Chain A
Amino acid sequence: MANHDHDTPHITGLGTYFAVFGALMVLTAATVFVAFQDLGMMNNVVALGIATLKAVLVLWFFMHLGHATTFTRVAMASTLFFFFLLLAFLFGDTLTRDLLDVPGRVIEL
């Protein structure tokens, strides 16, 4: 998109796309593999970590964020920031819900 600012738009080679596609396939296989491993507390962390890595690859190469203007990157970053705010305030509730000792309430940890 933002490349249209310039007279010569940047062209990513076909090889890069196939390499990224290959990486996404490998990561998908990794997702399936770890789904069958019991990593205890790390189950979600690892699954989401792989998913995040895949999303970054898609954004950076397929959606051309790698060659985008600063403004486009700021726009992308601000959406991530708002998503972070959603999580921050949400966990601000769920993680502190039982901190206050209410008479009669049974706290399960």
Chain B
Amino acid sequence: MTPLVSTGKRIPDYLNAAYGLKSWLFTTDHKRIALLYMASVTMFFFLGGLMAVLIRLELVTPQGDLVEPDVYNRLFTMHGIIMVFFFLIPAIPATLGNFLIPIMIGAKDLAFPRINLGSWYVYNAGGLFTMYSILNGGVDTGWTFYTPFSTTFSNTYVLATGLGIFITGFSSIMTGLNFLVTIHRMRAPGLTWFRLPLFVWAHYATSIIMLLGTPVLAITVLLVALERSFHIGVFDPAYGGDPILFQHLFWFYSHPAVYIMVLPAMGVISELITCFARKRVFGYRFIAYSSVAIAVLGFLVWGHHMFTTGQSIYASTIFSVLSMLVAVPSAIKVFNWTATLYRGSISWDTPMLYALGFIGLFTIGGLTGVMLATLGIDIHVHDTYFVVAHFHYIMVGGTIMGYLGGIHFWWPKITGRMYPAFWSKFAAITIFIGFNLTFFPQFILGYMGMPRRYHAYPDEWQVLNVMSSAGASILGVGYLIPMIYLAWSMRYGPRAEANPWGAVGLEWEIQSPPTAHNFETEPVVDKEAYAYTAEQGYVPPTKEAEFV
């Protein structure tokens, strides 16, 4: 725990433990692998963002005048594929999760360090196949690869992209497996399940989904490839197949995948809210169990993507009810975070701005999700911009706000440097404004009936579309500012102390940046998570808060 050894010499931190490219490419240190992942996902984020810029530029005018319709199809497809599979899914688990889970549980590394490194290579191998298909013109099926278009009619690079997703899926499985085994087997003495930080609980639930869901996606993609190449007759009605079967298999993974994206962000938010309200979390066990409840229930709602297909009305009714049910554990979290804020001594540091932004945006995204789960409403707004706005509120407003909040919270720990407070707050507010300006008009557009995935639209929808595109440019600037000051901070930022936020947690008890083995002596845990004390501005829990 102490950064000093008996000789009084400082042990080099993990960044200075070894030098040279090889020391990074062959590292098995979970902290370095987290940084490798961070570099990769950031690259894909800006690549996917570039496609979004082109999409929003095309939609400034009602006429399809910037790109060909065919190119537009490829743009929104590649935007979705890159953002979902190569950014949102690995973003928090593979970077913050990778860096923090071993430290938070008092371990020296993950259970399988080489599998961890391997997962990064597998991820990039999948990325290369996808890049190959982009450079050759991309795919035009939408990120959902619906059959029979993807199996029979599309003449774009479905196979190469599918293979890329198939391969990248394995990196997700490797990460999930690593987390599950690590959390089960490597917790420090005294660190019982209900003393774990909620960040760890959230990643535990995420890992379950990664392990149970991803193989189904792999098989589905494989079946599309076989159908396309050999017409095996699984999905293509011309050969006796059922195209709706594809949607069942695809969404069996892809709805839970939304929780792979958002659960880790929820874990981040639990850490941020408690630290910047200086309070123990309200209803610890409820938040912990609700993560697991989301992971399990999340597998039973996929049919809500298929209300307008030929899906049986009986199945649709059950899926509708279950979809509303899965909102309950999410709501529990939102209520508990809000209750944690109540009578807390709140500070407005940058990570907290992201956390508060997350709560608001995620709530809007979640409640519109309940609207979409309602059969009658869904028939009206299915495949419109209402859906687009809804899932961007979850994925961008939820996951990316959580990711950025987490990056800003643990940046001093990861790099040992601080970043400028003014610019980081400015960027957080810019992102919040830009985000809402981009996506709120899309709710209205969708309600008025503007379908998604069209490159042209009637004149009367131009004002709202221009608002959305203007918001997107503000959002883009908001994302670029952190790139600049964080890059600056890595080299010139003031040195960070071990615990710049005065936060509670094992990661804040070791030096910044940590040494290669995190802990020089094995830590022993004798208190609950979030045990903020009176000196730190601790506010005694209210009577209601005592019952859990």
Contact = CB atoms under 8 A, between A and B. Distances in A.
Where chain B touches its partner, the secondary structure class is helix
Given A89-B303, A93-B248, A97-B310, A82 B212 contact: yes
A99 interface: yes
Interface in A75-109: 79, 82, 85-86, 89-90, 92-97, 99-100
B238 interface: no
Interface of B: 211-212, 216, 242, 244-245, 248-249, 252, 299-300, 302-303, 306, 310-315, 318-319
A92 B249 CA distance: 14
Contacts of B248: 86, 89-90, 93
A89 B314 CA distance: 11
Given A86-B216, A92-B318, A97 B303 contact: no
A93 B300 contact: no
Contacts of A85: 299-300
A93 B299 contact: no
A97 B299 contact: no
Contact of A96 (B245, B315, B319): B315
B315 A82 contact: no
A93 B318 CA distance: 10
Contact of A93 (B211, B212, B216, B312): B312
Closest 7 CB pairs of A and B: A93-B315, A96-B312, A97-B312, A96-B314, A93-B312, A92-B315, A82-B212
Contact of B314 (A86, A90, A99): A99
A100 B313 contact: yes
Contacts of B249: 86
The A interface is mostly helix, strand or loop, or mixed, namely helix
B313 A94 contact: no
Contacts of B310: 97
Given A85-B299, A93-B244, A93-B303, A99 B212 contact: no
A48 to B, nearest CB: 15
Contacts of A92: 312, 314-315, 318
A94 B242 contact: yes
B181 to A, nearest CB: 9
Nearest to B181: A1
A93 B211 CA distance: 25
Contact of A99 (B242, B306, B312): B312
Given A82-B299, A85-B299, A93 B311 contact: yes
Contacts of A99: 312, 314
Given A89-B303, A93-B303, 6 more contacts: A86-B252, A86-B299, A89-B300, A92-B312, A94-B312, A99-B314
B245 A90 contact: yes
A90 B244 CA distance: 10
A90 B299 CA distance: 12
A94 B315 CA distance: 9
Contacts of A96: 312, 314-315
A82 B299 CA distance: 8
Contacts of B303: 89, 93
A95 B312 CA distance: 8
Contacts of B311: 93, 97
